[in-house]
Chains A and B, each alone.
Chain A
C-alpha cells in the first residue's frame, strides 16, 4: 500500500467523450505526476503539478489537462477522447520532486477503454 488512491478503477467511454480521472496523494505530498501506460510499454509522462501549478509536461496535446487541489487530490481531464487514449492512467505522488532523490509513490491506476 502506497497511500495513493485513484478512482475509478475501470472506465469505458466512447470516442469524442470527455473523462475525469481522480487521484488522492499521500498527505503532505506536494507533487503529483500523471502517466499514461499502454499495454506492453512503460509509463509515458503526461504532466506534473507542484503546489497546484503545472511545472512539467510531456508530449501530450492540450486536450489532456489537470488540476491539483490543496487537499492533496488531483484530476486528469481528457477531452475529445480518441481510441488511442485507451490505456492505464497512473498518478504518482512525492514530497518535493525535483530536489533530487525523492521517491514517487504510484496509485493502482485507472484502466480507461475508449470504444
Chain B
C-alpha cells in the first residue's frame, strides 16, 4: 500500500535551522514534493526531488533518499513568516499523489 508519515508539530526559534522529516512507502515512485500551507490558504510549491540528493533553493533545501523512502525539508535562518504547515507528497507513475497530513511549524521570537 501507500503510506507517508511526517511529524505533527515542531517548534523552532527565529534565526535557527529546522529539519522536517518525511518517510514514505509506495510503488512506482515518480517524485517527492514539499509544499507550504498557511492557515486558510492553498498549498504553495517549495521543492521537488526525483533523484537522490540535496536540492537547494535559497533558505530552503530538500533531500531525498529513494532507497530509504526518506526525505527532509531544511529551513535556514527561520523567520516568523515561516510559521505554517509543511506538506510532503509523493507522486507515482500512475498519476496518483499522496500527501502527508502536514507538519505545523511554529517559529518563536
Interface residues, chain A, CB within 8 Å of chain B? 2, 33, 35, 40-45, 48, 50, 55-58, 90, 97-98, 100-101, 103-109
Asked whether, in the complex, the Cβ of A101 is within 8 Å of the Cβ of B42, the reply is no
Known contacts A97-B95, A100-B31, A101-B48, A108 near B101 by CB under 8 Å:
no
Asked whether, in the complex, the Cβ of A105 is within 8 Å of the Cβ of B45, the reply is yes
Which residues on B sit within 8 Å (CB–CB) of A56? 94-96
Cα distance, A44 to B100, chains bound together (Å)? 9
> What is the interface of chain B mostly: helix, strand, loop, or mixed?
strand
Q: Is B60 an interface residue (CB 8 A)?
A: no
Interface residues, chain B, CB within 8 Å of chain A? 30-31, 33, 35, 41-45, 48, 50, 87, 89, 91, 93-102
B36 to chain A, nearest CB (A): 11
Q: Offer 29 A-B interface pairs, CB within 8 angstroms, sorted by A.
A: A2-B42, A2-B44, A33-B97, A40-B101, A42-B89, A42-B99, A43-B89, A43-B99, A44-B99, A45-B96, A48-B95, A50-B95, A55-B95, A56-B96, A90-B42, A97-B91, A98-B30, A100-B31, A100-B50, A101-B31, A101-B48, A101-B50, A103-B45, A104-B33, A104-B45, A107-B42, A108-B41, A108-B42, A109-B42
Which A residue sits closest to B43, measured CB to CB? Answer: A106
Q: Give the A-B contact count at a CB cut-off of 8 A.
A: 59
Cα distance, A45 to B90, chains bound together (Å)? 11
Asked whether, in the complex, the Cβ of A42 is within 8 Å of the Cβ of B96, the reply is no
B32 to chain A, nearest CB (A): 11
Asked whether, in the complex, the Cβ of B97 is within 8 Å of the Cβ of A45, the reply is yes
Query: Which 8 A-B residue pairings sit nearest by Cβ, starting from the closest?
Result: A56-B95, A42-B99, A106-B42, A42-B101, A56-B96, A43-B99, A45-B97, A103-B45
Which residues on A sit within 8 Å (CB–CB) of B41? 108
Cα distance, A40 to B87, chains bound together (Å)? 11
Which residues on B sit within 8 Å (CB–CB) of A109? 42
